[in-house]
Amino acid sequence: MTPGRLAAVLAGLASLVPATGCTPTSATPVEVEAAPVTPETVEDLGELLLEEVPSGLPRIPDADLEPSAGAKTVDDVATYSDDPARERAVLREYGYRHGWERFWGSTTGPLTSVFLDQFDHATGAATYARDLAGNDAELYDGVLRHGPSSLPDGCSLLTVAAADPATGLSGPAAFAWCAHGVFSVAVTAVAGTEQAAGDELHDAVQAQLDRLPAA
């Protein structure tokens, strides 16, 4: 797998006009019920994705991003790589079916993203999540921990202490990759401080996992 899915989107974000709107200063927990059925279509998968994030950041419209967020096919995800043909083959080995991306925040300040991907089997989802964590740890040069006590089982955590223009990070960031049954959940939080990024990440991960069918 070639690292760069999030980095490619962040690069697109950097070229956009900053989003407008007021950013709340206090977190508001999002309460949702878990979906009982495994989705059959990418549209069904999109229904499982968070509509709001705990920090209350405003959502960035899918079409405002380049490439656009929203529904993703194998071919869409493969194009984030420098070698789409090879990446397409790797994704099929994982049993990748489809995915969905969503972003909240602004292009120059706090930003939260959630990527939800579905696979043919749980093994593919778990392997994908762990491999992606390892690859992105190299890209962002952060501290990677598998199975941290601060996150649910099946998650990996990466923290980056400072902004890094080279990778599109506008501030301290926290990343999580979690396997949950046939799903892989990737959450990124960029904030003004490491603590704020970590808090947003933890709450968003838990809120997203709570929306999924039981593993």
Residue 103 clears pLDDT 80, i.e. is over it: yes
> Mean pLDDT across the stretch 153-182?
93
pTM: 0.85
User: What pLDDT is recorded for position 19?
Assistant: 40
Query: Which architecture does CATH list for 5-15+39-206?
Result: 3-Layer(aba) Sandwich (3.40)
Distance CA 189, CA 169 (A): 10
- Count Cβ atoms within 10 A of the Cβ of residue 87 and give its class: 0-12 exposed, 13-18 middle, 19 or more buried: buried
Give the least confident one: 4-13, 95-104, 132-141.
4-13
Residue 184 clears pLDDT 50, i.e. is over it: yes
> Mean pLDDT across the stretch 13-23?
43
pLDDT digits (tens, 9 = 90+) for 44-93: 999 999 999 999 999 999 999 989 999 999 999 999 999 999 999 999 99
Other CB atoms within 10 Å distance of the CB of residue 35: 16
User: What pLDDT is recorded for position 23?
Assistant: 32
CA dihedral 123, 68, 50, 108 (to 10 degrees): 110
Structure token digits, residue 8: 């490619």
Decide: 208 and 114 in contact? Cβ < 8 Å.
yes
Residue 25 clears pLDDT 50, i.e. is over it: no
Reported confidence tier of residue 111, pLDDT bands at 50, 70, 90: very high
Structure token digits, residue 16: 């956009």
Q: State the SS3 of 14-75.
A: HCCCCCCCCCCCCCCCCCCCCCCCCCCCHHHHHHHCCCCCCCCCCEECHHHCCCCCEEECHH
Instruction: Show the beta-strand stretches assigned E in the chain.
Output: 59-60, 70-72, 96-105, 111-119, 143-146, 155-160, 173-180, 183-190
3-state secondary structure of 173: strand
> Mean pLDDT across the stretch 99-107?
94
Give the least confident one: 33-42, 137-146, 183-192.
33-42
Structure token digits, residue 29: 């927990």
Domain range annotation of the chain: 5-15+39-206
pLDDT digits (tens, 9 = 90+) for 149-165: 999 999 999 999 988 88
